[in-house]
């Protein structure tokens, strides 16, 4: 077998080659995207969204947020975080403009100004906006993220990370009127809820101590049972969620 393998090894052979130089008067024209129906445009925008999320720049951006910012704690449920090997998933939500809204505005600007229109070019511009800090983000647990998308929870604009207002100023004339109308409603609601934010998201607890009365405490017997290995609670948790490192994902 050894002799057979040695016989199959071929030495590198220098092959003759030649070079051809070609000069082009005009570079090849990029394909022009035309949207025959609104459905075609929506499909194109979703394609651009997919290119953004799958890009290396987007993944690096999420890693940067994970390592250098406080986006590891849920904005709604402040006690949930993905630190110290806790098995909570913290996801990144675009707010007040969704990634679809952002791509749509970038596409509209390029259509108006006659700029290049293709998924890669639009993805590059959208990611540049992320790196410039012009895209609003909110960190949410998986459940809270779904509730926000289902319009069950409202996130006040005061709790948005990054300067989304800069994006609004730069792309205002290209933002979908329906999106701008929704933004105005969010601004109005955020102003109305400003007075109760300290009670809902940052609560302050008051404890009253009365002589002769103590707060109920957990008996030691209960503590020992709750921390026993193999209890139904531990078994259910281990079966429902494997022991792995916490996730930190995008929208």
Question: How confident is the model over 41-52, as a mean pLDDT?
Answer: 94
Quick one: DSSP state of residue 161? B
How many folded domains does the chain comprise?
1
Chain centre distance of CA 152? 19
pLDDT score for 192:
78
pLDDT tens digits, one per residue of 100-146: 999 999 999 999 988 888 899 999 999 999 999 999 998 888 888 88
Note whether residue 221 is domain-resident: no
pTM, 2 dp: 0.66
pLDDT score for 10:
52
Confidence of residue 168 (pLDDT cuts 50, 70, 90): very high
Note whether residue 193 is domain-resident: yes
Note whether residue 192 is domain-resident: yes
Task: Establish how many alpha carbons lie within 13 A of residue 248's alpha carbon, considering only the half-sphere containing its beta carbon.
Answer: 24
pLDDT tens digits, one per residue of 51-89: 999 999 999 998 888 777 766 778 887 777 766 666 677
Whose tokens are 């006659």? That residue is 114
The dihedral region occupied by 102, where left means phi > 0, alpha psi between -120 and 50, and beta the remainder, is alpha
pLDDT score for 218:
58
Note whether residue 123 is domain-resident: yes
Note whether residue 157 is domain-resident: yes
Question: How confident is the model over 138-157, as a mean pLDDT?
Answer: 85
Residue predicted with more confidence, 128 or 24 = 128
Cα(212)–Cα(224) distance, integer angstroms: 28
pLDDT score for 202:
54
Note whether residue 205 is domain-resident: yes
Note whether residue 128 is domain-resident: yes
Closest CA to 56 of 44, 64, 68: 64
pLDDT tens digits, one per residue of 176-188: 999 999 999 888 8
Note whether residue 195 is domain-resident: yes
Lowest mean pLDDT among 88-97, 149-158, 186-195: 186-195
Domain membership of residue 93 as a residue range: 35-209
pLDDT score for 89:
77
Helices (H), ranges, the chain: 2-8, 38-54, 56-68, 99-113, 119-131, 142-149, 164-171, 177-193, 197-200, 220-226, 232-240
pLDDT score for 75:
81
């Amino acid at each position: 077998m050894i002799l057979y393998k040695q016989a199959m090894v071929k030495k590198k052979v220098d092959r003759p080659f030649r070079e051809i130089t070609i000069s082009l008067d005009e570079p090849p024209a990029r394909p022009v995207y035309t949207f025959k129906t609104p459905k075609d445009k929506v499909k194109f925008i979703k394609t651009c969204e997919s290119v953004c999320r799958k890009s290396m720049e987007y993944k690096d951006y999420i890693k940067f947020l994970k390592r250098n910012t406080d986006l590891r704690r849920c904005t709604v449920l402040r006690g949930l975080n993905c630190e110290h090997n806790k098995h909570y998933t913290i996801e990144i939500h675009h707010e007040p403009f969704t990634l679809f809204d952002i791509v749509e505005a970038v596409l509209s600007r390029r259509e108006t100004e006659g700029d290049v229109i293709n998924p890669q070019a639009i993805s590059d511009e959208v990611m540049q906006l992320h790196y410039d800090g012009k895209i609003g983000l909110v960190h949410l647990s998986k459940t809270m993220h779904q509730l926000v998308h289902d319009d069950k929870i409202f996130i006040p604009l005061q709790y948005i990370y990054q300067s989304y207002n800069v994006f609004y100023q730069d792309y205002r004339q290209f933002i979908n009127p329906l999106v701008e109308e929704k933004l105005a409603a969010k601004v109005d609601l955020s102003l109305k809820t400003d007075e109760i934010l300290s009670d809902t998201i940052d609560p302050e607890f008051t404890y009253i101590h009365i002589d002769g009365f103590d707060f109920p405490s957990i008996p030691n017997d209960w503590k020992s049972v709750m921390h026993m290995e193999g209890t139904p609670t531990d078994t259910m948790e281990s079966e429902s969620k494997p022991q792995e490192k916490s996730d930190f994902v995008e929208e």
